[in-house]
Amino acid sequence: MVTVRDGEGAEGAATVGAQAKSGDRAGQAMLSSHSALAVLRLSGGQALLYAVLLILLIVTFVPIVYLIALSLKDNGQIYGRFWSMPDPYRWENFALGSLAIWRAVLNSILTSGSSTAATVVLASLSGYVFARHRFPGKELIYTGILALLMIPPILTLIPAYVLILNMGLENTYWALILPWTSGGQVFALLLCRSFFATLPEEFFDAARIDGASELQSFARIAVPLSAPILVTVAVVRLVTTYNQFMWPLVVISSPKKQVVAVALTQFTSEIGVTDLGPQMAGYILASIPLIVLFSFGMRHYVRGLTAGGLKA
């Protein structure tokens, strides 16, 4: 959505720009009535826009710059020369930080990744069934699933924890993977169903005439055509689960199995690192999976959240 409209928007902006430029050159043209004044005011306005945006941008980046600066200092540099640049650069902080969190990052990637994969498989299958099949009770079941969108996680937190306890799954990866897989399906199913419903019926008719089974037409036609929406689902779920804090905090007690969001907060106590530098380096390293993910999946992420939210 963003991509397509991006073009339009840029075009629109370009048109306005062209108008302004022509006004600038000719001294009249489109805004002829009070041209000189308008030009002055507009360019003044533009300068103001730039100024405000730049200031906001700088303030937005202060914590990030601060984080990076601290990550390259040792405690002596931080406490002694707070305002000076790191000198020398303590790159070994990153080595120390990575030692402390690599395991948690792996745990996160493992649990987020496997639950996301399971969500995508299950949601695309059932989304396909809900979009293309007819069977008694379909709408009833579908409404029943959508009703779950109204259930906030805070309501199910404690009962789900007790359920995990009763199943004997506390402090295992399953305690994260199963509920995340399940919880992600609702939104994923919503996206998949509405996407599958837009695929032309003719494709599937043709496949059926050629003797394809239901599963074959799902795997050979529906899935390849819906790759974009499946990627969207995957990106949203990966980001969401990677950022999860409260649920792992409740169900995982062993530091060895803890995911990165919680592990970062237990940095000092669990790993015995008291220097700020390695800690900050750890924070940055913990962001790497998200940086990788966002560098190609940003537009999928926004599209997924928007679509899920607007349709809900």
Q: Whole-number minimum distance, CB 48 to other proteins, in Å?
A: 9
Q: Whole-number minimum distance, CB 256 to other proteins, in Å?
A: 19
- Site residues for other proteins, 137-176, by CB under 8 A, read 138, 141, 145, 148, 150-163, 165-166
Among 179, 278, 297, 304, binds other proteins (CB under 8 A): 179
- Site residues for other proteins, 5-44, by CB under 8 A, read 5-6, 8-17, 19-20
Site string for other proteins, 72-111 (x = CB under 8 A): ------xx--xx----------------------------
Q: Of the two residues 198 and 306, which places its CB atom closer to other proteins in the complex? A: 306
Q: Is 46 in the site for other proteins (CB under 8 A)?
A: yes
Among 28, 40, 66, 216, binds other proteins (CB under 8 A): 66
Q: Is 185 in the site for other proteins (CB under 8 A)?
A: yes
- Site residues for other proteins, 195-254, by CB under 8 A, read 214, 242-243, 245-246, 250
Q: Is 60 in the site for other proteins (CB under 8 A)?
A: yes
- Site residues for other proteins, 279-308, by CB under 8 A, read 280, 283, 286-287, 290-291, 294, 298, 302, 305-306
Dihedral sign for Cα 173, 236, 123, 212, please.
Answer: negative
Q: Of the two residues 134 and 200, which places its CB atom closer to other proteins in the complex? A: 134
Q: Whole-number minimum distance, CB 164 to other proteins, in Å?
A: 9
Contacts of residue 228, Cβ cutoff 8 Å, sequence gap at least 6:
300
Q: Is 272 in the site for other proteins (CB under 8 A)?
A: no
Query: With CB under 8 A, what is the number of residues at the site for other proteins?
Result: 101
